[in-house]
Amino acid sequence: MLELNKWFFVLALNFFILLFILNIILFKPLLKLFKEREDTVKGSLDAAKDMSNRREEGIAQLNRELADARNRSKEMFEALKAEGLQKQKEVLSKAEAEASGILEKAKAELKAEAERARKALRADIDKFSDEIVRKLIKV
């Protein structure tokens, strides 16, 4: 069987003293180093997640601003289009009125010219009829 003598207790005491010394000199600094490394990695991961969240928020904000700008430009385009159509209608109606005025003036001038021609022809008709009557009478 196992014999428990004084050397067993000396070796056990030596083991525990060595374990205590190694704990102070080696294990605690290593555990502290591992803990700092874990905290640094965790902090870096948290910072990366935070940056990713801010990036996503920035992209969402940019998309909202872009959609808003598109809507404003579409509204401006529609307003300018309506204004252009209104001006086009005004110009067309003005041109139509001007053309109508010119046409009426031309018709009035043509009518006056036709009346002058009729008067001139009536005067000539009287002259020609007198001349025809004279020639017929001479015959």
DSSP 1: -
pLDDT tens-digit series, residues 7-63: 888 999 999 999 999 999 999 999 999 999 999 999 999 999 999 999 999 999 999
pLDDT tens-digit series, residues 105-134: 999 999 999 998 888 888 888 888 888 888
Q: Residue 128 carries which side chain, given as an amino acid letter?
A: F
- Does residue 138 fall inside a structural domain? no
- Sign of the Cα torsion 80, 82, 85, 91 reads negative
- Does residue 133 fall inside a structural domain? no
- Does residue 2 fall inside a structural domain? no
- State how many domains the chain has: 1
Integer Cα distance of 41 and 46 in angstroms:
9
- Does residue 13 fall inside a structural domain? yes
Q: Which residue range(s) make up the domain with 84? A: 9-105
Number of CB atoms found within 10 A of residue 103's CB: 10
Structure tokens given for 104: 């009426």
